[in-house]
Amino acid sequence: MKKVIVISVAAIAATVALVVFGPDVLDLYRLDHAIDASAKAYQADGGPWPHVNDTCFMCHGVKGNSLNQSYPSLAGQPAAYLEAQLHNFASGARRNPNMGPLSMTLDNAQIKDMANYFSRVTPVANHYFKPDARLRAKGEQLVAGGNCAACHGAQLMGHDQFPRLAGQGYDYILAQLDAFASGARSESTGMMKNIAEHTSPEDRKAIAHYLASLEPKH
């Protein structure tokens, strides 16, 4: 009889505890499940914590899809281009107060891994830029007339050493065109310097409007 009473009391206590603390216990279970799933997804995306590319997300956005018009999106950029630029930053061939010191901390294997990682990420559209219709239309004509697709691909998604232009940040694109025009930035073919320095500041703005408004397509 005593055993039955003890069991009954325990059952009642368990029921009361479930009623009182049940929601909290369920929330803790859900939180633990979410953390576990997130950790597994993180490791599947690039191995155990920390990933070398974690540092990049602060400026270049989650998985390299930038939300800031001044910072380029790395997602979907050709691996060869990213690798070359990281080496250029490290050597000082391309100058940037942030990327220079950061690139110098990476060894060749880390640079290759980082470039391969971002090249596999699906790029998203630049929804945070609203182009001026007149400048966009003018930019489209200039890009077509300049045959940018010859180097950067039919969809302007880049390949090999040529970068993806479609959907990049407006401020970033304009800054690079201005840098090529002034000679502050260069590349091995000399093509971009020749194009940029023979393009007016207004036309460079138009080109940037058009490229920034394009949706990246594979």
CATH of domain 52-213: 1.10.760.10
- Look at residue 50 in the predicted model and tell me its pLDDT: 46
- Look at residue 172 in the predicted model and tell me its pLDDT: 98
Nearest Cα residue to 205 out of 213, 194, 217 = 213
Which residue ranges make up each domain of the chain? 1-49, 52-213
**Would the pTM count as exceeding 0.85?**
no
Q: Is the pLDDT of residue 38 over 50?
A: no
Residue 138 or residue 218, greater confidence: 138
Residue 75 or residue 39, greater confidence: 75
Given CA atoms 190, 106, 176, 98 in this order, what sign does their dihedral have? negative
pLDDT bucket at 126, cuts 50 / 70 / 90: very high
Q: For residue 127, say whether it is annotated as part of any ligand binding site.
A: no
Compute the mean pLDDT over every residue in the chain, rounded to the nearest whole number: 86
Nearest Cα residue to 168 out of 118, 211, 122, 104 = 211
Query: Helix axis angle, 108-120 relative to 79-91, nearest 10°?
Result: 140
DSSP state of 20: H
Q: For residue 209, say whether it is annotated as part of any ligand binding site.
A: no
Instruction: Summarize pLDDT for 83-109 with one digit per residue, the tens.
Output: 999 999 999 999 999 999 999 999 999
CA distances from 126 to 105, 131, 133, 216 (A): 30, 11, 16, 9
Q: For residue 218, say whether it is annotated as part of any ligand binding site.
A: no
Under 8 Å between Cβ of 164 and 158 = yes
Residue 12 or residue 34, greater confidence: 12
Cα–Cα dist 90/98, whole Å:
11
- Look at residue 39 in the predicted model and tell me its pLDDT: 44
Q: For residue 60, say whether it is annotated as part of any ligand binding site.
A: yes
Summarize the confidence of residues 36-54 as an average pLDDT. 55
CA distances from 105 to 55, 86, 100, 102, 173 (A): 12, 11, 9, 6, 26
Q: For residue 198, say whether it is annotated as part of any ligand binding site.
A: no
Q: For residue 1, say whether it is annotated as part of any ligand binding site.
A: no
